[in-house]
Structure 1
């Protein structure tokens, strides 16, 4: 394990759960990073609050020239700055992407940009679609994402200060404290329209609003496989909350409750609609309990490398530096502390693998599950020995369930070795070409079923 720690992997054992997560340092040297996005290929695009979008390649290198520099047109500091990035679903053909930033007056801007002839450099001139006045410096939201319907969703905070003094989150004539939804495929100014299915089209209320009652949705995401929407909403005094909206998303004008309710608890119900009209959290946890202070939303793991993480939503808290998972039954696992990071964003690559970043450390980690052993491995009559191994290890399988192929991966999911096995119960594999560390061994049987376990090489 000492070798693994030297390689930058820090194991986090989940309390009360057999699952174990490791964070592998993937890239360092970022300044106030607040978002990680992908454009449908192997690159990651890293958003720095000061105005830069930088390209992080799949080998961990960072391009010297920023993809885009907006530092001269933004306000920064505190919760302001360049905050969000989303690539158009048809980016490969139209080259459009969208950003969310606070301008020099402190107001939220949603703007469209395009990539140049060089795929690693964007054109510097953008088109402003929307400007939303911000009365205070905090609670600017920041996340923007394309939903499964092809529309751009925009998470807006309630305008700031504390306790939503302007009651903006409940006011349907204000875009603050809302989830907005717009169609960005218009070719005429203002280059967006409001979908006809938005709840306030043709009636009182702003056409852009899809849902209301949010305090500060610092990160939301869609499950890329089934379209479910997860919104992490930062609390006021009592609770941090997580909202889950199953796909297909309703068009009825959801109300997530703020400031009438904070989580499930009453906050200020003066003039509020009945509680049965509200959408209450899928999960909440106490604010300032064990060091928590501000939820950081993440993603449902939809990758293929780590089976134990599949169908679990992964999220964190800015202050306590712990990683949490929650499944569809609401069962939560919480890690031990991973100090000195201040986690503010997760990232998802085009394959569904997850990353996490700390605004203080400037480091992007790849999230790894080290408890990949399939519980069926031993049950089905397989064994691997010696483990830890030095120069070789032996795979033994039963006559009834004979292994036909072995694949060996490192903890990033990179395939290092594949070999067809001889038609006998025992096969020995040399390891002299491998470095010391932890690996994943997957056996495939003649019927195509796979079984995975861990291997340590000393």
Structure 2
């Protein structure tokens, strides 16, 4: 295995299976990033808790003009703010996307917006689909995602305080502590309908509810290849849990157990349904050792790192350790990437993964840097000499051709951007760049970017 040193810090942690996970800085300069997603192309959209959505290009540069600014209509601080973003499955043709935020009264709002004539800027007028009253400032959930069925799923926390004092998660007449599911393809108010297959349609219970018994689902995602649903649900005092529902998703009214159970352990079982009627975690972990709040991620479905295939990545806000769980529910974790407070993962259109820290404001790309993995090496590029003085040469280790090189300093400032010749190997002059440590990003003809550290002497 080889040591990966990044940004002057040791960014090296060991998993099993001869893997080394490394985090490479992809973009920086964000304030409280809480969501990363894509719109079906090479761009990433970064949601800042304070109300901005920013566009990050494939080379890691961030557009100066925000995609959308909702700072004037939201409340922020603590667990409030602009929390979720989801692009319509037909965004390429209808330009619609949806956001989840807490309004100035602290209540959850799900609203619809559209892109303007400029693909990097949204129209500023939105349409509110639903408003959900929040009794406390915390446990707002925040994630919204389109499922494989084309419906919009909305993760709702239990309303806050501690211990779910109103027992809202088990109350089927309350949208708090639930996973909601709605059909947003409606042209008349309230601009959504409830799928007929939702479990409480036509009987007692709120029609929007798809599942109950969640405490505060801080990030859920669908496996983009098979449709499985993964939910990271924040615990109360001792246990953080990961829930998994295999596709095809059932319509039977799943109960994830809170507040009757915290993970697999009984919490307040008075008046609860039988445990046999509940869906218990796929896996869980203890808060011992500095953990405090799970941050959910994604199953890796990309192609660059075969060792990561079919593994779910997640972390914890307090200990900054990247965790990975396999199909047997076994969790492995890295040492801490300290100073980040990881609050969100992201997945690009190719299935590659990213993670962002609220404290650092940096978006990192997750990589398998194991020198023992030949499949990883096939997707690397050669950068030589390194350290360098006057020039560097770029050569991809696979059959792709490099089309563009960009060099950034460690603050994220663009130093050089240059198109490359249609050759297997390119030489670039760096004589005008001062001594220091830089990040080099190479974009290939198929739109994939690779990054390496460069030392200029």
**TM-score, with structure 2 as normaliser:** 0.83
Contact 2:6 2:24 in 1 (8 A): no
Match of 2:198 in 1: 198
Match of 2:88 in 1: 88
Match of 2:31 in 1: 31
1:145-200 Cα offsets, whole Å, 9 max, x none, are: 00000000000000000000000000000000000000000110000000000000
Return the alpha-carbon distance in structure 1 between the equivalents of residues 179 and 43 of structure 2. 28
Equivalent residues in 2 for 1:53-452, closer than 5 Å:
53-287=53-287, 289-371=288-370, 373-374=372-373, 407=399
C-alpha spacing 1:5/1:14, structure 2 compared with 1 (3 Å): closer
Post-superposition shift, 1:19?
1.3
Return the alpha-carbon distance in structure 2 between the equivalents of residues 7 and 434 of structure 1. 23
1:246-291 Cα offsets, whole Å, 9 max, x none, are: 000000000000000000000000110000000000000012x111
Specify the SS of the correspondent of 1:40: coil
Contact 2:4 2:11 in 1 (8 A): no
Return the alpha-carbon distance in structure 1 between the equivalents of residues 334 and 10 of structure 2. 12
Equivalent residues in 2 for 1:10-29, closer than 5 Å:
10-29=10-29
Contact 1:8 1:24 in 2 (8 A): no
Q: Which moved more, 1:18-27 or 1:258-267?
A: 18-27
1:351-392 Cα offsets, whole Å, 9 max, x none, are: 001000000110000111112644799xxxxxxxxx99979x
- Cα RMSD of the aligned pairs, angstroms, is 3.3
Post-superposition shift, 1:406?
5.4
Return the alpha-carbon distance in structure 2 between the equivalents of residues 432 and 59 of structure 1. 19
Post-superposition shift, 1:13?
2.1
C-alpha spacing 1:353/1:53, structure 2 compared with 1 (3 Å): same
Return the alpha-carbon distance in structure 2 between the equivalents of residues 62 and 24 of structure 1. 16
Specify the SS of the correspondent of 1:219: strand
Return the alpha-carbon distance in structure 2 between the equivalents of residues 105 and 388 of structure 1. 53
1:378-416 Cα offsets, whole Å, 9 max, x none, are: xxxxxxxxx99979xxxxxxxxxxxxx954899xx99x9
Mark the runs of 5 or more structure 1 residues left unpaired by the alignment: 378-386, 392-404, 421-429, 440-454
Post-superposition shift, 1:2?
11
Return the alpha-carbon distance in structure 2 between the equivalents of residues 437 and 120 of structure 1. 28
Specify the SS of the correspondent of 1:335: strand
Contact 1:344 1:357 in 2 (8 A): yes
Mark the runs of 5 or more structure 2 residues left unpaired by the alignment: 377-381, 387-396, 407-419, 431-436, 441-451
Post-superposition shift, 1:333?
1.4
Post-superposition shift, 1:433?
7.8
Return the alpha-carbon distance in structure 2 between the equivalents of residues 265 and 374 of structure 1. 39
C-alpha spacing 1:195/1:9, structure 2 compared with 1 (3 Å): farther
Return the alpha-carbon distance in structure 2 between the equivalents of residues 123 and 437 of structure 1. 37
1:21-53 Cα offsets, whole Å, 9 max, x none, are: 110111111011110110000111110111000
Contact 1:230 1:243 in 2 (8 A): yes
Return the alpha-carbon distance in structure 2 between the equivalents of residues 349 and 431 of structure 1. 27
Post-superposition shift, 1:327?
1.0
Return the alpha-carbon distance in structure 2 between the equivalents of residues 374 and 245 of structure 1. 31
Contact 2:15 2:21 in 1 (8 A): no
Post-superposition shift, 1:329?
1.3
1:207-260 Cα offsets, whole Å, 9 max, x none, are: 000000000000000000000000000000110000010000000000000000
Return the alpha-carbon distance in structure 2 between the equivalents of residues 331 and 240 of structure 1. 14
Specify the SS of the correspondent of 2:73: coil
Return the alpha-carbon distance in structure 2 between the equivalents of residues 431 and 126 of structure 1. 47
Radius of gyration: which is bigger? 1
Return the alpha-carbon distance in structure 2 between the equivalents of residues 58 and 456 of structure 1. 18
Specify the SS of the correspondent of 1:128: strand
Return the alpha-carbon distance in structure 1 between the equivalents of residues 147 and 52 of structure 2. 25
Aligned length: 411
C-alpha spacing 1:409/1:373, structure 2 compared with 1 (3 Å): farther
